[in-house]
């Protein structure tokens, strides 16, 4: 079972070239303006992007920075998290969630997630809260928010800060409130494959809190304080540039269309793959007090022979990603930390079964059908063998 007999349509894991071509007429004059002004950082495009994003997500403040990873570290510092503090994070997420906690000198405590939403399990969180716990940092992954309402109740009960890794969550809302604004602050990532992606790294801190916002503004440029004309402590170097800001602005106006197209494609996957249950488990809504709307950043299936399926798809021109091959406590550089000692069976199971299929607005229906046909072929072989 090496090559499938179906028609050879290749499906890269991500492509944004067609969208970018369509955006160029809008983008070109802005690029020329940037070049003419010679202002590549800290200019009008960034300020305008911050205003546009604030209005899209309904935040009082958006501070654009160099990457989603930097946004996390800046948010934590601005919230006063530092050495001696413990921050509860999920064991199943991208590395930056936990590395940002380490980079500000705090100690991450990694706990298990719920199946379905892959978000922090509130019961597990409650078990690890101790005298040094300062904050909960939940992550919204793939297509829906985590059980943020329960987590917020825990935070309030124990007097903890709720900070959200909403890097993947643009467009996701709970009771009408955008992800990232349900606690003190949240982040966005504009990594190129994201629902709102730039052509390079980029990120933002989003918050309704004036103090956090003004601290992040200062910290993103070495702690430079315009009022006193001095550098204050805790700064980083994390400026987004005008070109990426202009690109993001040209895409923001069709973000809702992109989200709608992603939903169509996700629905097509789910309908087509439904009868492969239980060999293939399509995404389902996690248990939560209040459900979020769905924003399909990633279409993640679970399947028992995941690595073989990924190889088979690759051999047939279909790109996939494994989100994520290891729970964080099993990462070589994290395994020895005190916060890596909690059992994480749900995360461990998912790390053996999860596979992200291609999903982006430039995909055609035929490409989804091609991926589904290959998944079907793979499992037909399984039934025969």
Partner 1 sequence: MGATGARALVSGDLLVRCVAEIAAADQFILGRQVAELELKVAGLAGWGHAIASASDTGAMLLALTAMGVGSADEIVVPAFGGMPTATAVVLTGATPVFADVDTATMSLDPEAVEAAVGPRTTGLLWSRPLRSAESARVLRELTRRRGLFMLGDTLMMPDAGNTGDAAVAPGYRRGASRLTERAAACAFSLGPESSFGGCADAGMVVTDDGQLADACRGLRNHGQRRRFVHDRIGFNCRMDEIAAAYLLHRIPGLQAELATRQSLAAHYAERLRPLAPQVRIPAQEVCSSAGQGYVILASRRDELRDYLSSEGIGAGACPAVPLHLEPAFARLGYKPGQFPGAEFLARECLALPMHEGLRLADIRHVAGKITCFYQGNGA
Buried residues in 155-194 as b, exposed as e (16+ CB within 10 A):
beeeebbbbbbbbbbbbbbbeeebbbbbbbbbbbbbbeeb
Residue 177 sits in the site that holds partner 1 (CB under 8 A): no
| Per-position x/- string for 22-51, each x denoting binding to partner 1 as judged by CB under 8 A, each - no binding | --x--xx--xxxxxx-x-xx----------
Considering only residues 178-217, where is the footprint of partner 1 by CB under 8 A? 192, 198-201
Q: Which residue in the set 5, 7, 228, 385 belongs to the binding site for partner 1 (CB under 8 A)?
A: 228
H or E segment to which residue 230 belongs: strand 230-231
263 binds partner 1 (CB under 8 A): no
Question: Which of 58/82 has CB closer to partner 1?
Answer: 82
We find the least distance from the C-beta atom of residue 124 to partner 1, in angstroms, to be: 22
Task: Enter the tokens of residue 149.
Answer: 């309402």
Query: Of how many residues is the chain composed?
Result: 385
Taking the C-alpha atoms of residue 68 and residue 240, their distance in angstroms, rounded to an integer, is 11
Q: Which is nearer to partner 1, 131 or 332 (CB)?
A: 332
* CB nearer partner 1, residue 27 or residue 126: 27
SS3 content of the chain, % helix, strand, coil (to 5): 40, 15, 40
* Closer by beta carbon to partner 1, 97 or else 292: 97
Task: Give yes or no for residue 10 binding partner 1 (CB under 8 A).
Answer: no
Q: Pick one of 239, 254, 352, 379: the residue that binds partner 1 (CB under 8 A).
A: 239
Distance separating alpha carbons of residues 140 and 200, to the nearest angstrom: 22
User: What's the CA gap between 192 and 152, in Å, rounded?
Assistant: 30
50 vs 201, which CB is nearer to partner 1?
201
CA distance 138 to 140: 7
Least distance to partner 1, CB of residue 372, Å: 23
Rg for the chain, CA atoms, rounded = 21
Q: Which is nearer to partner 1, 162 or 301 (CB)?
A: 301
Binders of partner 1 among residues 78 to 97 (CB under 8 A) are: 95-96
Q: How far is the CB of 245 from partner 1 (least distance, A)?
A: 10
The DSSP-derived string for 130-181 is: -TTEEEE--B--TTS--SHHHHHHHHHHHT-EEEEB-TT-TT-EETTEETTS
Centre a 10 Å sphere on the Cβ of residue 366 and count the other Cβ atoms it contains.
11
CB-nearer residue toward partner 1: 16 or 122: 16
**Does residue 336 bind partner 1 (CB under 8 A)?**
no
Contacts with partner 1 in 119-158 (CB under 8 A)?
none
Query: Which range touches partner 1 (CB under 8 A), out of 50-58, 130-138, 269-277, 332-340?
Result: 332-340
Rounded to the nearest 5°, which phi and psi values hold at 110?
Answer: -95, 120
Regarding 254 and contact with partner 1 (CB under 8 A), the answer is no
Cα first-last separation, the chain: 11
Q: Per rule CB under 8 A, is residue 229 in the interface with partner 1?
A: yes
Q: Is 233 in the site for partner 1 (CB under 8 A)?
A: yes
Q: Tell me which residues touch partner 1 (CB under 8 A).
A: 12, 14-17, 20-21, 24, 27-28, 31-36, 38, 40-41, 66-70, 95-96, 99, 102-103, 105, 192, 198-201, 222-224, 228-239, 241, 243-244, 247, 322, 324-326, 331-334
């Amino acid at each position: 079972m090496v090559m499938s007999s179906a028609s050879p349509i290749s499906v890269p894991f991500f492509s944004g070239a067609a969208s970018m071509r369509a955006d160029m007429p809008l983008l070109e004059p802005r690029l020329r303006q940037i070049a003419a002004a010679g202002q590549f950082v800290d200019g009008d495009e960034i300020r305008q992007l911050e205003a546009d994003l604030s209005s899209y997500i309904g935040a009082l403040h958006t501070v654009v920075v160099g990457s989603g990873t930097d946004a996390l570290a800046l948010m934590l510092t601005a919230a006063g998290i530092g050495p001696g503090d413990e921050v509860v994070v999920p064991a199943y997420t991208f590395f930056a969630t936990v590395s940002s906690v380490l980079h500000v000198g705090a100690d991450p405590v990694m706990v298990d997630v719920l199946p379905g939403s892959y978000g922090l399990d509130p019961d597990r969180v409650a078990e690890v809260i101790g005298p040094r716990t300062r904050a909960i940092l939940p992550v919204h992954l793939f297509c829906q928010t985590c059980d943020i309402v329960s987590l917020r109740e825990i935070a309030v009960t124990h007097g903890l800060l709720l900070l959200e890794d909403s890097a993947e969550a643009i467009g996701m809302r709970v009771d009408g409130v955008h992800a990232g604004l349900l606690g003190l602050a949240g982040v966005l990532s504009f990594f190129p494959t994201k629902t709102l992606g730039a052509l390079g790294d980029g990120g933002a801190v989003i918050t309704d809190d004036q103090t956090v916002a003004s601290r992040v503004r200062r910290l993103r440029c070495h702690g430079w304080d315009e009022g006193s004309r001095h550098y204050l402590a805790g700064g980083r170097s994390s400026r987004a540039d005008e070109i990426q800001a202009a690109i993001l602005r040209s895409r923001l106006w069709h973000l809702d269309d992109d989200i709608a197209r992603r939903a169509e494609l996700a629905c097509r996957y789910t309908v087509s793959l439904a009868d492969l249950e239980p060999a293939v488990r399509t995404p389902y809504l996690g248990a939560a007090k209040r459900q979020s709307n769905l924003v399909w950043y990633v279409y993640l299936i679970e399947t028992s022979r995941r690595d073989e399926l990924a190889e088979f798809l690759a051999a047939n021109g279909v790109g996939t990603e494994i989100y994520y091959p290891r729970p964080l406590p099993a990462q070589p550089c994290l395994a020895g930390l005190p916060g890596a000692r909690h059992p994480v069976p749900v995360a461990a199971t998912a790390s053996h079964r999860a596979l992200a299929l291609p999903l982006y607005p430039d995909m055609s229906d035929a490409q989804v059908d091609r991926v589904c046909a290959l998944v079907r072929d793979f499992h037909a072989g399984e039934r025969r063998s």
